């Protein structure tokens, strides 16, 4: 889709949001209107309704929208004064709140009219006439609750979602993809495969890792430690809490305080749950003097952090309040920045392509806006940091884009964006070049002339957090993890009780070779046990009956291939030996 086509469908989606508001007002004339923006693949609109509605009401609202489209209504906009808008929206409290805010900020106010019946506070981006909308290429999808402006302190509104495309075929393809997404949903598979759970007594956004999910975490962490050791990293461990002084020194208070948990008041001051690992690691660096001969120094840590996220934004493992990061901090000289950041990007490429087979990814260089208060000032430092990162990214040969206004307060950042097989894009990791830490923490090194100079700090986390990355992997593999990562690699199934001792001998030998085994000796039929093992997506199922026991063999079933025949256990172990570890 070229830019003009993209602009056209975006305008159509925006216009459909207005038509949705019109349709809801026809059903509920006293409804209060929130906002109705365009989102990926579609749109939504928020309402305060006089009575609840359900998804069963959506076909009726859709029918009303199609009727409005058929009327070939025109969209027209104009600039208005605050006094005019207050009069227009005198019965719409949410609009009045926006009008007051925009007027205080000195923003120009515009309204858009649809036909002769409906007018909305809107900055524009519409089609000219509803005849430009394909009535067969949109659908209202579902209803959800949403706090006004995302705050739990505000009223809960009813949000109606819709999708829209240029053609009916694109709409059908979208729903086909959604069906596939449901099959791969990490929350559903996480429950079915017994990977993780949540408990209301512990709190939302704080996952509990079950034995199978813990295998995923530990296998990835084990591999990461080996890789990072080869790439010159040293492992460190830091505590889960720290004094307020540390976060004032880092600048996270006040810049990041609203995303941190409230302080704990103790006898020697306020303590905070750790929301990021970097300030702690900086204290390790500065615990002793460093020479230019030592640099770069690379400290890595699987550090658990806690961030306060609004409950409405939590989503399984994708967005949590407690998570463990594959974190590291590289302390280097300015003339080492490009080379070290290039290595970081190559490490990402190794993980994504070589280890997990993820090929659809790109980098996003996030730049600051022109607001020195938000980004801790120091324009010269910002300029230099952006130049160094841009040079490294160009040398990497990897795809990247630039985005203004998304940088961290202490330096520009590079996000690695990965796309799943169902087309959903996620931020897999965030990497930053920090020029401010040296000043705030007095992080220096002694150069060859004996002078003290500040270091640059590279924050990197190729796998991001275990929680988010494993959620992606669950959906990427649809729960069918590669052999080395599978929580249960092999199951041994008995046909009857008389072969149990032989089956246990098989299982013990596999355990001796360090394979993860889950035998099933229950008195169920072998057909039922095979079906249940297949639903658990176990890579290999070994069936043991009287015939196998007499011949000293096993019957092997391989995931996605089915029955592969009988063979001696020694031959099977040799067959799977190369799948044991990615190293």
User: Of these residues, 217, 280, 459, 466, which one is catalytic?
Assistant: 459
HEC profile for 430-475?
Answer: EEEEECCHHHHHCCEEECCCCCEEECEEEEECCCCEHHHHHHHHHH
Asked if 307 is an active-site residue, the reply is yes
Residue 227 backbone dihedrals phi, psi, to 5 degrees? -65, -45
Asked if 413 is an active-site residue, the reply is yes
Asked if 325 is an active-site residue, the reply is yes
Asked if 63 is an active-site residue, the reply is no
User: Of these residues, 48, 252, 274, 327, which one is catalytic?
Assistant: 327
Q: Name, in order, each residue with C-beta under 8 angstroms of 184's C-beta and a sequence gap of 6 or more.
A: 420, 421, 422, 474, 475, 478, 479
HEC profile for 200-257?
Answer: CCCCCCCCEECHHHHHHHHHHHHHHHHHHHHCCCEECCCCCEEEHHHHHHHCHHHHCH
Contact criterion met (CB below 8 Å) for 321 and 314: yes
End-to-end CA distance of the chain: 41
Residue 428 backbone dihedrals phi, psi, to 5 degrees? -80, -40
Asked if 329 is an active-site residue, the reply is yes
User: Of these residues, 13, 184, 298, 329, which one is catalytic?
Assistant: 329
Specify the pairing of strand 264-266 against strand 269-273: antiparallel
How would you class 289 by CB atoms within 10 Å of its CB: exposed for 0-12, middle for 13-18, buried for 19 or more?
exposed
In angstroms, the CA 93 to CA 546 distance is: 77
Residue 224 backbone dihedrals phi, psi, to 5 degrees? -60, -40
What is the C-alpha R_g of the chain? Answer: 29
Asked if 240 is an active-site residue, the reply is no
Contact criterion met (CB below 8 Å) for 434 and 446: no
DSSP string, 269-310: EEEEE-S-SHHHHHHHHTTS--BTTT-SEEEEEEEEEE----
User: Of these residues, 92, 274, 325, 460, which one is catalytic?
Assistant: 325
User: Of these residues, 413, 466, 529, 557, which one is catalytic?
Assistant: 413
Residue 581 backbone dihedrals phi, psi, to 5 degrees? -150, 140
Closest CA to 458 of 309, 272, 300, 221: 300
How would you class 486 by CB atoms within 10 Å of its CB: exposed for 0-12, middle for 13-18, buried for 19 or more?
buried
Reduced to 3 states (helix: H, G, I; strand: E, B; else coil), residue 314 is: coil
Handedness of CA 189, 195, 200, 203 (dihedral sign): negative
Provide the angle, in degrees to the nearest 10, between the axes of the packed helices 500-512 and 569-576: 30
HEC profile for 113-129?
Answer: EECCCEEEECCCCCCCE
Q: Name, in order, each residue with C-beta under 8 angstroms of 525's C-beta and a sequence gap of 6 or more.
A: none
Which residues carry out catalysis?
278, 307, 325, 327, 329, 413, 459
């Amino acid at each position: 889709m070229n830019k003009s086509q993209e602009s056209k469908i975006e305008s159509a989606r925006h216009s459909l949001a207005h038509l949705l508001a019109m349709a809801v007002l026809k059903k509920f004339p006293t409804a209060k209107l929130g906002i109705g923006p365009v989102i990926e693949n579609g749109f939504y609109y928020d309402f305060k309704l006089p009575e609840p509605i359900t998804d069963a009401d959506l076909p009726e609202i859709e029918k009303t929208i199609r009727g409005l489209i058929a009327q070939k209504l025109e969209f027209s906009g104009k600039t208005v004064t605050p006094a005019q808008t207050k009069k227009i929206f005198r019965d719409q409290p949410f609009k009045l709140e926006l009008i007051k805010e925009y007027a205080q900020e000195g923003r120009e106010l515009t309204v858009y009219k649809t036909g002769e019946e409906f007018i909305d506070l809107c900055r524009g981006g519409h089609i000219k006439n509803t005849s430009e909308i394909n009535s067969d290429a949109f659908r209202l999808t579902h209803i959800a609750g949403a706090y006004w402006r995302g705050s739990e302190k505000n009223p809960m509104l009813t949000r109606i979602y819709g999708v829209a495309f240029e053609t009916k075929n694109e709409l059908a393809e979208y729903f086909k993809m959604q069906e596939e997404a449901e099959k791969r949903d990490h929350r559903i598979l996480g429950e079915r495969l017994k990977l993780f759970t949540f408990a209301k007594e512990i709190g939302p956004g704080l996952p509990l890792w079950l034995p199978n999910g813990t295998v995923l975490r530990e296998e990835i962490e084990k591999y990461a430690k080996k890789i990072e050791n080869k790439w010159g990293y040293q492992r460190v461990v830091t505590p889960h809490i720290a004094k307020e002084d540390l976060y004032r020194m880092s600048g996270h208070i006040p810049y990041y305080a609203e995303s941190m948990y409230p302080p704990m008041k103790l006898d020697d001051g306020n303590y905070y749950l750790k929301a990021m690992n970097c300030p702690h690691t900086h204290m390790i660096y500065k615990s002793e003097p460093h020479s230019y001969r030592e640099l770069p120094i690379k400290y890595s840590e699987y550090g658990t952090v806690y961030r306060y996220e609004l409950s409405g934004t939590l989503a399984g493992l994708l967005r949590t309040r407690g998570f463990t990061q594959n974190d590291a901090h590289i302390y280097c000289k300015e003339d080492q920045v490009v080379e070290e950041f290039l290595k970081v990007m190559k490490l990402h490429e190794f993980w994504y392509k070589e280890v997990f087979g993820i090929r659809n990814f790109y980098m996003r260089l996030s730049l600051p806006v022109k607001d020195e208060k938000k980004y801790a000032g120091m324009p010269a430092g910002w300029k230099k940091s952006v130049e160094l990162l841009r040079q490294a990214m160009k040398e990497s040969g990897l795809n990247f884009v630039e985005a203004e206004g998304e940088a961290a307060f202490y330096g520009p950042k590079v996000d690695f964006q990965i796309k799943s097989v169902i087309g959903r894009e996620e931020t897999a990791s965030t990497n930053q070049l920090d020029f401010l830490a040296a000043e705030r923490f007095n992080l220096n090194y002694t150069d060859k002339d004996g002078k003290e100079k500040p270091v640059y700090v590279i924050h990197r986390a190729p796998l991001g957090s275990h929680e988010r990355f494993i959620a992606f992997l669950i959906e990427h593999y649809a729960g069918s993890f590669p052999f080395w990562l599978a929580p249960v690699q092999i199951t041994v199934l008995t046909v009857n009780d008389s072969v149990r001792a032989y089956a246990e001998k098989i299982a013990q030998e596999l355990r001796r070779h360090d394979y993860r085994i889950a035998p099933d000796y229950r008195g169920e039929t072998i057909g039922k046990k095979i079906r249940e093992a297949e639903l658990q997506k176990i890579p290999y199922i070994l069936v043991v009956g009287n015939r196998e026991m007499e011949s000293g063999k096993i019957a092997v079933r391989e995931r996605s291939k089915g029955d592969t025949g009988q063979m001696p256990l020694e031959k099977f172990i040799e067959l799977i030996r190369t799948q044991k570890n990615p190293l």
